[in-house]
Chains A and B, each alone.
Chain A
């Protein structure tokens, strides 16, 4: 489907407004990155701020046990390609339910995405949809896996 330049500007403006709002699902709040300027043929970084409710942890992106659900940031839509996602260094914490320390994130942390902008990417505004899937627990119970959805507004130049 072709979307006119006018419509794309409006969509981008609307999404930019929505994207500025922190999105919460369960015990996790995500502050979407500010509007990103992406130059064709170059890379650009976007930082997603994650805030976790006190007393809870989420499994890291590399959980220490097979049965644990990892934290995952994914992107879709828009003209940018994901060149890499850098998660913070996990901490190894011991809980009453884990015989061994497990690899988790706690408190507030950032996830950085490196985007590559193809040389032939169409110029102008664009929107990327971000999803953060996580599974959280506290010291004695766990919450079902959830996904926080948010948007990143991009200007391709």
Chain B
């Protein structure tokens, strides 16, 4: 092996490793974490469709379902009606759904979609900063269930059953300030 080819090997290995990582099958790390294991959900400030700023930290004291989605994502389309029902059913008990759209085209495509579906929860368009803060959201849908103290209880990648979300939300709402 020449010095040239030997020198290329680490580069090739890194390239292969990167190629293997991108688009890898999603891992559903959905099991809810106990109160002591939970980590703070990264805060963000994003505009909703009316131009109002939405901060995750404004929802402290509420259980939040933070859903990353896109208009081109079939599995996301299945979940949106569930989340609308959750918003309606649990909002008076201290619950909110926040949707973050990952469409590159932004509001131009997201706003008509949200209006057509009559989405009843707040929807924002992601920025690169928010995407990075959440570890680079690659597979959609990706959703976080967040407790009343702003800590991540579970992360679901891909379409999971409606009952899993319902159970987690119910548990958190029942336990009141669950993480304390």
**Could you list which residues of chain A lie within 8 angstroms of chain B, going by C-beta atoms?**
24-27, 53, 55-56, 65, 67-69, 95-98, 102, 135-138, 140-145
A97 to B82, CA, bound (A): 13
**B interface size (C-beta, 8 A):** 25
A69 to B140, CA, bound (A): 15
| B23 and A97 within 8 A (CB) | no
Known: A68-B74, A141-B26, A142-B139. 5 other contacts (CB 8 A): A95-B74, A96-B159, A136-B23, A141-B140, A142-B140
| A67 and B71 within 8 A (CB) | yes
B70 within 8 A of A: yes
Output the nearest chain B residue to A99 by Cβ-Cβ distance.
Answer: B78
A137 to B138, CA, bound (A): 11
B76 within 8 A of A: yes
Closest Cβ–Cβ distance, residue A79 to chain B (whole Å): 32
With A96-B159, A97-B159 already in contact, the answer to whether A142 and B23 are too (CB < 8 A) is no
| A97 and B138 within 8 A (CB) | no
B157 within 8 A of A: yes
B-side binding surface: helix, strand, loop or mixed? loop
| A140 and B159 within 8 A (CB) | yes
| A141 and B23 within 8 A (CB) | no
Output the nearest chain A residue to B15 by Cβ-Cβ distance.
Answer: A24
Within the complex, which residue of B23, B74, B77, B141 is in contact with A53, where a contact is CB–CB below 8 Å?
Answer: B23
| Contacts A/B (CB < 8 Å), 12 sampled | A27-B23, A56-B23, A67-B72, A67-B74, A96-B78, A96-B159, A135-B72, A141-B73, A142-B75, A143-B23, A143-B139, A144-B104
Output the nearest chain B residue to A146 by Cβ-Cβ distance.
Answer: B23
Closest Cβ–Cβ distance, residue B52 to chain A (whole Å): 26
Closest Cβ–Cβ distance, residue B163 to chain A (whole Å): 15
**Which residues on A sit within 8 Å (CB–CB) of B71?**
67
Output the nearest chain B residue to A54 by Cβ-Cβ distance.
Answer: B25
Mark out the residues of chain B between 135 and 180 whose CB falls within 8 Å of any chain A CB in the assembled complex.
138-141, 157-160
Closest Cβ–Cβ distance, residue A136 to chain B (whole Å): 7
Output the nearest chain A residue to B72 by Cβ-Cβ distance.
Answer: A69
B19 within 8 A of A: yes
Residue with the greatest number of chain A CB neighbours at <10 A, chosen from B70, B75, B160: B75
Mark out the residues of chain B between 26 and 55 whose CB falls within 8 Å of any chain A CB in the assembled complex.
26
**Which residues on B sit within 8 Å (CB–CB) of A53?**
23
Residue with the greatest number of chain A CB neighbours at <10 A, chosen from B25, B26, B157: B25
**Which residues on A sit within 8 Å (CB–CB) of B73?**
137, 141-142
| B141 and A145 within 8 A (CB) | no
A139 to B157, CA, bound (A): 12
| A97 and B75 within 8 A (CB) | yes
Within the complex, which residue of B23, B25, B74, B138 is in contact with A102, where a contact is CB–CB below 8 Å?
Answer: B74
B2 within 8 A of A: no
| A143 and B74 within 8 A (CB) | no
Closest Cβ–Cβ distance, residue B67 to chain A (whole Å): 13
A55 to B158, CA, bound (A): 14
